[in-house]
Structure formats: structure tokens, C-alpha cells
Structure 1
Amino acid sequence: MDYNLSSYPYPSRRRVIMARRGMVCTGQPLAAQAGLRMLLQGGNAVDAALATAICLTVVEPDCNGLGSDAFALVWIKDRLYGLNGSGPAPALLTRDKVLAAGHSEMPQRGWIPVTVPGAVSAWAELHRRFGRLPFAKLFEPAIEYARDGFPVSPIAGKLWKAAETTFAPYRDDPAFAGFFSTFLPTGAAPEVGETVAFPDHARTLERLAQTGGEAFYRGELADKIDQFSRATGGYLRKEDLAGYRAQWVDPIRTDYRGYDVWEIPPNGHGITALMALNIMKGFHLEERETLDSYHKQIEAMKLAFSDARHYVADPRFMHARVEDLLSQDYADQRRSLIGDRALEPRWGKPFSGGTVYLCTADGEGNMVSFIQSNFRGFGSGMVIPGTGIALNDRGNNFSLDPAMDNCLAPGKKPYHTIIPGFLTKDGNAVGPFGVMGGFMQPQGHLQVILNILDFHMNPQSALDAPRWQWIEGKKVEVEAQVDPAIIEGLRARGHEIIVKQDRSTFGRGQIIWRREDGTLVGATEGRTDGSVVAY
């Protein structure tokens, strides 16, 4: 890959890390070390990824938990595999019930947005197929931190503090009692650096380790989830849990500048990044920091996102075909709409009729791109008492419009924002990459890939570079580091630009590339507490 490892066009407190035998990158140093422990004990990249993911449920509870979903792209023996660990709406939850409860759109908190959690099943499936170490060993670091305590890291502490305000209106609601007793037992979030322990979480992890995850879906933990749901007006039942298993899927791709960029297929919205890349193929961008470069990227993403939000859903319910959305003819059609002025976003007609991210690599050539999330911070606020299980709010992404493919229905998976990425060239792995952060994720994927393949930046610089984020309509947020002349130029073209000093809303990513000589090159960024560990 053509980039300069000694060049750093953007200020950073980090530098590219290089190694040959193994590497783990993620947004929390203790979790990264958990993965490295597995590599040093003879584990492979899958073992390292799983130990990291399990540990993240403890040390970054503001972004993920035992009630999360998870997606993975896994490179093993010269082949890329995809795993969809997202769950469906409970069988009892219907659109009519949500409307009858007084909601005109899906809420973010409470039982209504809770879908069947997929992360634990994803861990078990990944280990069953590709793991090397005993499953229980992968839980050891997480159990230690949950039982003995860990110091709260800066970004986690900031997000934890914000949750005080978010959940304050629910303090007297019995359904939220588990949240407050688990995460705000003193009434306030822990301070940065304060040691926190989760003994209930530790006992649950021990039980998951002993049962290969079965206790969560078909055992005593499933019974506890069912009981609390029934007692507090929830819809999730043990039958929903018993019927679930993470699903192996075929990754989808597009070619860009001689490389193949891979994503998980719908119901994930990784296809958004691929559609935007297809539009960008028709442009030649010589420099990154120009008005024209920013304008075209924003417009391409706006068009791709408009299509994704309209068409992406549980694939069993989609009317648009993935191959039509990714066709070059359709990309050409969408590109033709881009001029010198900001567009009002509209979907086209393609028919031919809180998240945590991590990546790992080992010395054998195996690599993993893994993402895990409750969705919005701590998720729904539904925490099963005595277990540490914090349930997701993924159902918030369902539509209540019956004309939409993504309209809520029992047993249906929602439009999903978490997307691991992977890059290959000529059938060989280059490596995993990801940018966490809700609807920023495909926008982060697009910008990172363009930074590397169009502007020949090294992985660390590609992550450090200033970012933008399309919000809605013509509204675009940009980081304060963007050139003021570019900001004013975008405004002159009709973009409604909001300059943000806080960089935490622009995604937090990691990258591992494998060079042709086998050297691993890892990067993480200053928007997170991230760490690259290697040997």
C-alpha cells in the first residue's frame, strides 16, 4: 500500500505501532491488554478479539454490555467470513402496541426498543468455528476486572457522567431500578480514575464461561430476563432468547482504486459506505484539504445515506436488492446529481424491476474486525437486577411507517448502525478497520478509506485527519480543525455548517494493516482512550 509511515500531516499524540507476531487495537487500554494476553498464551486473532470484546462489556459499560449486539468480519486461511450478531424484535412487540402506548416513533429508553441481544451468541459462534483457546479462558481478564475493580478511563468517565442527566427522568420508574443500582449506586457517576467493580457482572460472566453462553439464551439467565420483563411491563420472553442464534453471512464488497472494501450486508448499513465509494469512483481528488474534496464527499454520502435509510432493513423484508444498490450504473445515476450546490437529500430508485470497535491480527495471517454496541450509551436503561446485563435499545431504529421496509414487526431485525470494515487487494488481506459511533460509522469508513487510497495517508494520519458528519437535510457538522476557508466555502455552496469543538461525536476508530512483508501496522486515535498493543 502506498503511504509514508514517517509522515504525519496532522498533529497527534500517537504514532503508528508496528509488530510481526500479533496485535490488538481498541478504544480501551485494559481491554486491548486482555486480547494480547490471549495471543501470548497461544491464542489466535479470534481468541484475542473475543477476550477484548468480553472485557469491553466491563471497562466501557457506557458503550456496550452483555445485552449488546455484535458484528464481525473474520479473515481465516485466505477467506473472509461475516457474522451478524443482531437480534430481532420480541414476538410480543407490534406496531399497534407501540402506537397504543402513545408513541408516534420508536422510543430510545424502556422495554419497547429492546431487541434480542446477539453479542453473547456471536462470541459463542466465533469461538466454536475459529477459536483455539478454551472458551472459559477468554473470560478471565473481564472477570478479574469486574470482580476486583478497574479505574474509569477518561472518555468512559465523560460518557458515564452524561448518563446521569439522560436517565434522571427515570429514577423512580421500577423498570430502571437495575440501571441505577448497577451504574449509579451513589446517585452519581464515578469520577475518572475511580475504581469501580461489578460483582453481579462478574458472576454472570462466570456462568457464561461455564455454559458456553447457553445460560443467556436457554438457561437461568434467560429465566431472569423473562421474569424481570414480565414484572416491569416488558415484551422480551425466554422463548425469544431460546430461538436466537447469531447468523453467518456473506460479506458484501465494492472495488475502489484497486482494492476491495468489505462490509456486513443488511440489516447493517455498511452498504452505505460502499454506495458512497461507488459514487466517489467517478471523481479524481488530488488533494484532501480543498473545498471541492469536502463538497463532493459530503454530497456522495448524503445520497448514499438517503438510499440506505429508505431501503435498508431486515433482508427478508427489503424490496431493494443489494446488487442493485451497489451497481455502478446506479452510482453513475446518483453521481450525476452532484453539482456545485448542496442538495436536499432524496432516495433514488435502484430497482432493475455509546459502540465499541476492535481489531486483531496474529502471526499466522488471521485478522478480525469486530464491533459491539448497546446503541445509545448505556442502551435502553433496562438492566436485569443481580446480573449486570444491560439491554440494548436497537429497536429505536425501527420505523413505525407501514410503507417502510424497516417498519417494526415481531421477529424482525431493525436497521442496524454497527459496521466492521475490511480491506483486501488481489485476494489477499490488507486488514480490518472501523469507526464506531452510530450514524457516523459509514461516514467514518468513507473518510478513512479516501484518506488512505486517494490521499495516500498512513493509518494513523488517516484517523487523525479532521472529519465532517452529515446530519440531515443540508446540515453538516465539521470539526474545528477544518480550514476556515473550506468552512466558508461550503456555506457559500448552500451547506449549513456547524463547527464542533468536541471531537467525540465524530467517531472513534482503529486500523490494522498487514504489509506485504508480514509486518503489522496498527493505529488508534485521539478521539478515544484507545490503545494499540502488540508483540
Structure 2
Amino acid sequence: MKFNPEEYKYSSRRNVVYGHRGMVATSQPLASQTGLEMLKKGGNAVDAAIATAACLTVVEPTSNGLGSDAFALVWIKDKLHGLNASGYSPSSISMDKLKDRGFNEIPKYGVIPVMVPGAPAAWVELSEKFGKLSLKEVLNPAINYAKNGFTVSVNVKKAWDTSYNIYKKQQGEEFKYWFSTFTKNNKTPEFGELWKLPHHAYTLESIADTNGSSFYKGYIADKIDEFFKKYNGYLSKEDLANYKPEWVEPITVNYRGYDVYEIPPNGQGLVALMALNIIKGFDFSYKDNSDTYHKQIEAIKLAFADGQKYITDSNYMKININKLLSDDYSEKRRKTITDMALMPESGDPNSGGTVYLCTADGDGNMVSYIQSNYMGFGSGIVVPETGIAFANRLHNFSYDNNHDNCLMPNKKTYHTIIPGFLMKDGKAVGPFGVMGGFMQPQGHVQVITNLIDFHMNPQEALDAPRWQWIKGKQIEIEPTVPYHIVNDLIKRGHEVKIQPNLNSFGR
């Protein structure tokens, strides 16, 4: 048979899916099945989320891995809990040291932008606090796929090739271990190929057997420490040993009678909430209206301007979150929106490469969970014989000493990955989320407004064509946005690009 697995000539429609005893939603069918397997074994939504997250490090390593960060919103026993499992910068790093080494900016790739990974600790923390099954049982499906192989899906293959082409351009011996881990004979997998990741299996088994201690305090930590010393990086076994995820109180705004929840900073969920707070003062008559698009885009621009100025590690934030989310401040920002596209500027409230998954069980427990390496596989750094591909989140720090999010030791940076959760009248409606870096708060806003303002069903709310703000007056939109809307947005001063790569709008 001859066919192109990337080509789809005709539009398709998926129906809303209902479930009674549980549900798992992910970007990869094998991972979804893994989560359902945990529910069938008597596990709860938390067990299903951990199993699915671990499985995704194997079957979709192009977007997350054993060196990822993670965030979760957990609804259990009629209460919403927030978990921040993002890592912090190494204790020995500083801007002065990087400048002394000749760096004019924080690099995207290599050992420099690597921070402490948080995802394995998130699995342990979630399992100990809320899980019903043992961590070993929950991680077993991921171990089996890593040992015995999994079929490589279309989007994963495409993303794998993209990373391959990036890393082969990097200079330095330290990058060769990505190729020895993720290629065979210097080739990436083919569509549908059975692919094994034995080093992943080794590390996952170690995490399961030691309840994560080998990764942060044992022989895996020693391997990590040895590697980063060899290649002049900053991550150390002391950094790993001192790491622990944080339970945090979710932040929220009320949007037309619904309570929308996000993880507080250092995550950018605050951007989504600020934007919703601004647009709730507008009356949207219907979706396919250029005025609706324009006002939502302008609100996101204003929210991002504030977010990129103020969001950082919560211990270093100089602005009170409640001020940014106040109705008075939102009204002030709303009044700056006119009929024309504006250049986004931050306000002063004092004066007035990711995988997302969600699970639910028959008892009504739900998990909104996200983990990421950032920029695909991340830094391009893999510790030999461990399968650990490290994220490159340190690249998100500012290189300006005067910026709130400036690089410092033991500090968490502005983080793009965000899980969302929706409630009404104190009751859970459910988890939601999208992927795609800085698209994520924009996707959250669009999904929520589709559901609440335009009464779309959940599948329709995801299928609806999306837009994204890039910078300045630049926006990108999906090709299926009606032409009259595109034309009017251009007249309003937006610099519009039709973007055929739909993955960039948050899968």
C-alpha cells in the first residue's frame, strides 16, 4: 500500500465522547489506554494520570521526558489541589558566571539551560498523597513499552525529525548521547516503526523501585552530577537532593458565573485569567464576528504584556497577584482597547516542545496534568544509559538584572505549561488544557469562551479555528477562519498571517 500518513484531503468530525466509570484524554492512544488500564485495576484518577504521564515520556518523547517539569490540578474529595513540580535553577549558576564565559544570552541548547527536573518527583508526590495503587504498578506499563517497544505515531515521527535536524547542528561532544539514545544508525524512526527505549526502562524501574529516591539522591543523581561536571554544566547532585514539589493554592477568576482555576506563578496561567477578566466586560454576540476576535486578541496582548513583566518565581514577584486579578485593574486595562490594534504595553496595578492529559474516575475525582521538556526534546542533553532528556527551561529567564524574572541561583523561571480547571457553584465541571508554549493561555481563553459564551460542546470547542498573538501587532490564524474576519482584522491594524501548521495553535 502506498499512502502519505501526513495527508488528509477531507474534513472530518469527531463526536463528543461520554463515559460513566472513568475517562482519560491524551495526545497519544497508547498513553490513554494505559490510564484506562489503571482505572480497570481499581486505581483512581490520580493513578491514571501518573501512569499516563510516565507512559508519554516513552511513547511521545518528542514533547516530554524523564527530565521534564510538571504541574497538576487535582480535584479529589470535593477539593481542588495545586501541585507545582517545576524545577529551579542550579545553586552554582549566575549571570556573572555566564557572562565571564562569553555568553551574551542564555543559550537554548546544551548543558547551560538545564534546571532540576520536577516530573519524577511529581509522580511520587501525587502517588503518596492521593494514589490507591503502588507507584511500581502504575509505572509498569511505561516500563513495558520502553522495554518491548511501541509503534511510532505520525505527529511523534514528525517532531522527532525536527529535533534531529536541530541537534545535528549543535557543536560539542555532549550532544552525541541524544543520538545514541534516540536514533538507530543515526536515523530517526519511521512512521509506524516498533521502537524500544531500554535506557528509559532502566530509569523508570529505578524510580519505581526506590520511590524516586535514586533519581534525586541515589546512583542516577550521581550519574547526572558526573555528566554535568564533565561538560561544564551547573546542575549538581546537591541541587537534585534539595528538590521537592510544592503544593500550592490555585488562583481563580469568575467568568460569567463559572470559576476558572489555574496554577499560580511561576506558571503563566495568570495570563489566561487576566485576559478573561478583561473580556468579561464585553458582550460577545457570536463567534464568527471580527469584533469578537479583535477584542479577545487585544485582551491577550495586554495580559501577556503584564505577564512577561511580572511573572516569575512567586518568592521573587514584586506585584501582588490579587491586584493583577482585581476588577478595578481589569476595567482599567479594558478601557485601553479601541477599534484598532494596539502595541501591547504592561500596566501598573499598584496605581489603580509539551503534553497535556486529564483523567476522571467513577467517584468523580479528576486530574488536570501537564509536563514538558520545552522546545521538543528540550536541551538536547541526555545522560548516557539513563534515557533522561533534560528540559531547557533556564532559557526562559531574563538576562537583565533589573527584570523581575532575571536569572538567579535556586530560582524558578516564568513557565509556559499550565493545567486548567473549571467549576461552577462550588462543583467541578472538569479539567481542560492545550499544548504549545506561549499559545497555552491563549488556547485556554479560546476554549473557555467557546464553551461559555458560544455554548459549544467540548469537542466543538476544541475543533473551532484558533488564533494566536505572536508579538507586537502580529497574529497568526488557522486557515479555516472566515475570510471576512481576516479582512476586517487587517483593516483594524493587525498584521495577519495564515498559518497552515495547526500544531502551533496548541494540540
- Judge same fold: TM > 0.5, yes or no: yes
What SS is found at the alignment partner of 1:141?
Answer: helix
Distance 2:91 2:12 in 1: 49
2:150 touches 2:195 (CA, 8 Å); kept in 1?
yes
Residue 371 (structure 1) aligned with residue 384 (structure 2): no
- 1:363-405 CA-to-partner distances (Å, cap 9, x unmatched) read 1010000000001100001100000011100111000111111
Where 1:497 maps in the other structure, the secondary structure is strand
TM-score (norm 2): 0.97
Q: Does 1:399 align with 2:398?
A: yes
CA drift at 1:187: 1.8
Superposition TM-score, scaled by structure 1 size? 0.92
Shift of the alpha carbon at 1:100? 2.5
List alignment gaps of at least 5 residues for structure 2. Answer: 1-9
DSSP 3-state at the match of 2:446: helix
- Give the distance between the partners of 1:299 and 1:173, measured in 2 at CA: 43
Q: Deviations over 1:32-53 (max 9, x none)?
A: 1110000000000000000000
1:11–1:334 CA distance, 2 compared to 1 (3 A): farther
Report the number of matched residues.
498
Letter in 2 for 1:65: G
Partner of 1:487: 486
- Partner of 2:269 in structure 1? 270
CA gap 1:101/1:353 in 2 versus in 1, 3 angstroms: farther
Query: What secondary structure does 1:228 align onto?
Result: helix
2:6 counterpart residue number = none
**Offset at residue 352 of structure 1 (A):** 5.4
SS in 1 for 2:247: strand
CA–CA distance in 1 between the matches of 2:191 and 2:96? Answer: 44
**SS state of the match for residue 89, structure 1?**
coil
- Deviation track 1:288-342 (CA, whole Å, cap 9, x = no partner) reads 0111010000000000001000000001111111101100100000000000110
The 4+ residue runs of structure 1 with deviation greater than 6 A are none
| Equivalent position of 2:301 in the other structure | 302
For residues 363 and 417 of structure 1, what CA distance do their matches in structure 2 show? 31
Give the letter aligned to residue 205 of structure 2: E
Shift of 1:484: 1.2
SS at match of 1:234: coil
1:445–1:353 CA distance, 2 compared to 1 (3 A): closer
Please tell me the residue identity of whatever aligns with 1:317: Y
What residue number does 2:136 align with? 136
- Give the partner amino acid of 1:240: D
User: Aligned residue for 2:385?
Assistant: 386
- Cα distance in 1 for residues equivalent to 2:464 and 2:207: 40
| Residue matched to 1:360 | 359
Partners of 1:105 and 1:255 in 2: how far apart?
Answer: 39
1:26-80: CA deviation from partner (whole Å, max 9, x where unpaired) = 0000001110000000000000000000000000100000000000000001000
Query: Do 1:161 and 1:188's aligned partners in 2 also have CA atoms closer than 8 Å?
Result: no
2:335 counterpart residue number? 336
Post-superposition shift, 1:353?
8.8
Q: How does 1:425-444 map to 2 (within 5 A)?
A: 425-444=424-443
Structure 1, unpaired ranges of 5+: 1-9, 509-535
Distance 1:353 1:450 in 2: 27
Q: Is 2:169 the counterpart of 1:156?
A: no
3-state secondary structure, aligned to 2:42: coil
Higher relative contact order (CA 8 A, sep 6+): 1
The Cα shift of 1:13 comes to: 3.4
Letter in 1 for 2:445: L
Q: Which moved more, 1:78-87 or 1:94-103?
A: 94-103
**1:107-150 CA distance string (max 9 Å, x none):** 11011111100001111111110000011001111011100011
Displacement, 1:427?
0.5
Please state whether the residue corresponding to 2:433 is helix, strand or coil.
strand
- Asked if the contact 1:229–1:237 (Cα under 8 Å) also holds between the matched residues in 2, the reply is yes
Q: Give the CA RMSD over aligned residues.
A: 1.1
C-alpha deviation, 1:14, in angstroms: 1.8
| C-alpha spacing 1:457/1:90, structure 2 compared with 1 (3 Å) | same
Q: Distance in 1 between matches of 2:430 and 2:383?
A: 37
Q: Distance in 1 between matches of 2:209 and 2:15?
A: 40
Q: Distance in 2 between matches of 1:409 and 1:328?
A: 33
Contact residue 478 and residue 500 of structure 1 kept, 8 A: yes
- Provide the rounded CA distance (Å) in 2 between the counterparts of 1:294 and 1:13: 24
1:185 aligns to what SS in structure 2?
A: coil
The aligned counterpart of 1:73 is 73
Query: Counterpart of 1:220?
Result: 219
In 2, Cα distance between the equivalents of 1:488 and 1:209?
55
Deviation at 1:186, TM superposition (A): 2.1
Paired amino acid for 1:249: V
Instruction: Flag the 1:282–1:489 CA change in 2: closer, same or farther, 3 A.
Output: same
Match of 1:251 in 2: 250
Shift, 1:351, TM fit: 1.7
Which residue in the other structure is 2:165 paired with?
Answer: 165
Q: Following TM superposition, by how much is the alpha carbon of 1:164 offset from its aligned partner in structure 2, in angstroms?
A: 1.8
Query: How far apart are 1:98 and its partner, in Å?
Result: 2.0
Local SS of the residue matching 2:394: helix
Question: Is the CA contact (8 Å cut-off) linking 2:328 and 2:352 kept in structure 1?
Answer: no
Instruction: Output the CA distance in 2 between the equivalents of 1:104 and 1:332.
Output: 39
